[in-house]
Amino acid sequence: MMKRLCSLGVLLALSAATAGAADVAGHWQVAITTPEGTVTGEASFKQAGHTVTGWVGPSANDPIPITGVVKGNKLTLTTHPQPGRTVAFAQCDVTVNGAEMSGTIDTDKGTIKFVRAAPR
């Protein structure tokens, strides 16, 4: 009985540790605004607890890998472009608000907005 209670306690502690992270998994429409104008694209994220992986780019046919971390309702993403590729941002920090996320790219280079898209 005691062993089962300990196992349940560990499971509850792990659930509580990840429960505070916003859910960002899924497909997103992206708009990046800089002084030069606005570009649009797509993103797709998978999430395991606080860790986010996936891609961002002009389309699913032209993805740039990303990694990220969710802390509460804050998400930080880092791009990992392949050699010869350019990216709109190296890092972005956004606030998650339900089906939308918005924030800054590379701290002061512009803004980024994600809007959750319908599942594919």
The pLDDT assigned to 5 comes to 39
State how far Cα 48 lies from the chain centre. 11
Helix %, strand %, coil % for the chain, to 5?
A: 15, 50, 35
Say if strands 51-57 and 37-48 run parallel, antiparallel, or are unpaired: antiparallel
The tokens describing 51, both together, are: 């860790």
Please give the mean pLDDT across all residues of the chain: 86
CA dist 120 and 117 (Å) reads 9
| CATH 3.40.50.1220 matches 21-116 | no
Question: For the whole model, what pTM was predicted?
Answer: 0.80
pLDDT tens-digit map of 38-58: 999 999 999 999 999 999 999
CA dist 13 and 19 (Å) reads 10
The tokens describing 48, both together, are: 């395991």
Q: Confirm if 79 and 90 have CB atoms less than 8 A apart.
A: yes
Backbone angles phi, psi at 5, to 5 degrees: -65, -40
pLDDT tens-digit map of 17-43: 445 789 999 999 999 999 999 999 999
Domain locations in the chain as residue ranges: 21-116
